[in-house]
Structure 1
Amino acid sequence: MGLGTVGCVESYAALLRGIGPSNPNMRNEKLRGVFDGLGFEKVASVVSSGNIVFRTADDPADLEDRIQQALTAELGIPGGTIIRSHPELRALLDRDPFAGRPHERGSYLTVTFFKDRMRETDLSEFEDDPLTEVIGYDAEARAFLTVLDNSTPATPDFMARLEKSYGKDITTRTWLTVQRVVKKIEG
């Protein structure tokens, strides 16, 4: 599924990497201000970790770079911007990759979005971590799906390993956050 067609107004989610709401320049009102300044419509934030929804008829191929340049220039935010269209996110939810599994401490459902497609890899490289269950890679959403066990004092090292293997053009959200983003777009 593509990001949309130039000229058609489409809803999108910008998933911003490295947002710390305790930083005054990373608060939702400042982030929304950058998106408003770019001329996007119906700009709204979802939780305080860098999830902005908006509507635009702009060329989807340019959105990530354009938004990131504005965030860097206006707020000094160097992180990454990953865009997904409403149809892409809705289709991911509809596929229900976690098969109705509850999101709770012992089964913390996570989705790692890739700016581009995940390169071919042997997913078994993560099998040695007893606190991480790899669900798989959803090619249509360009997302890696995992279940983390946060019920023990030990911390899964999955995120650090994922970044080491794939670089920084990724960002992770909980399954609940993805659901909230879609609900906000549809609301």
Structure 2
Amino acid sequence: MNRYAALLRGIMPANPNMRGEKLRGVFEGLGFASVGSVLASGNVVFGCAETDVPALESRIQQALNAELGIGGGTIVRSRDELRELVDSDPFPGLTHGRNTYLTATFLKDRAGGAPPEPPAALAAAVRIVGYDRAAGAVLAVIDNSVSGTTNHMTWLETVYGKDITTRTWLTVQKVSAKL
């Protein structure tokens, strides 16, 4: 049995259709085993025998849309991919905190590669640490004490399109631990 994490885009916990129990129900209805949710931000872990990740992403997204009206986007990563990412310690010596967010932006299209340097308007607020090809993740440090950090996501969408989703490093670690 393979273990996976589904990282869902556009989840708003205040929406009753996007709460953990309903999300888990969709995954259980698809026949996945040992389904669990992590936090309330669209992270679902599960087990299945399938190995075709793009097919899994499509199947999950179709079910979420049909059953709960969730059209955001689904990105799936394996337990091994997330563990290797966490074990690589891409933020050595840094601590996620109120003013400094350590983030991982997962790309559906892993061939997207590392982004270009952020535009000058973001240079004071965003530092790209690297790109983890195996996990398809852009790793960044965001300085929340500087205004304009929300433009980071807008910039990433101009580089990669909307088939991306960002998690804090703490969330990535929690998801990996639950797998």
**TM-score between both structures, scaled by the size of structure 2:** 0.93
- Tell me how large the CA RMSD over aligned residues is: 1.4
Secondary structure of the corresponding residue to residue 170 of structure 2 = helix
Q: Are positions 1:18 and 2:27 aligned together? A: no
Q: Which runs of 5+ in 1 are unaligned?
A: 1-8
1:54 is aligned to 2:46: yes
TM score, norm. by length of structure 1: 0.89
Q: Deviation of residue 79 (structure 1)?
A: 0.8
Q: CA deviation at 1:175?
A: 0.2
Aligned length: 176
Alpha-carbon contact 2:104-2:137 (below 8 Å) kept: yes
Identity of aligned residues (%): 57
Q: Which residue of 2 aligns with 1:137?
A: 131
Equivalent position amino acid for 1:68 in 2: Q
Q: Choose from 76, 80, 84 the match for 1:87.
A: 80
In structure 2, the gaps of 5 or more residues are none
How do residues 26-175 of structure 1 correspond to structure 2 at under 5 angstroms? 26-61=18-53, 62-119=55-112, 123-126=116-119, 128-129=121-122, 130-152=124-146, 154-156=147-149, 157-175=151-169
Between the aligned partners of 2:45 and 2:86, the Cα distance in structure 1 is: 16
Distance 2:112 2:84 in 1: 22
1:4 alignment partner in structure 2: none
Distance 1:106 1:73 in 2: 39
Distance in 1 (CA, whole Å) between partners of 2:161 and 2:13 is 23
Moved beyond 3 Å, runs of 4+: 125-128
- Residues 31-54 of structure 1: per-residue CA shift (max 9 Å, x gap): 000000001011000000100000
CA distance in 2, matches of 1:121, 1:182: 22
Secondary structure of 2:47's partner?
Answer: strand
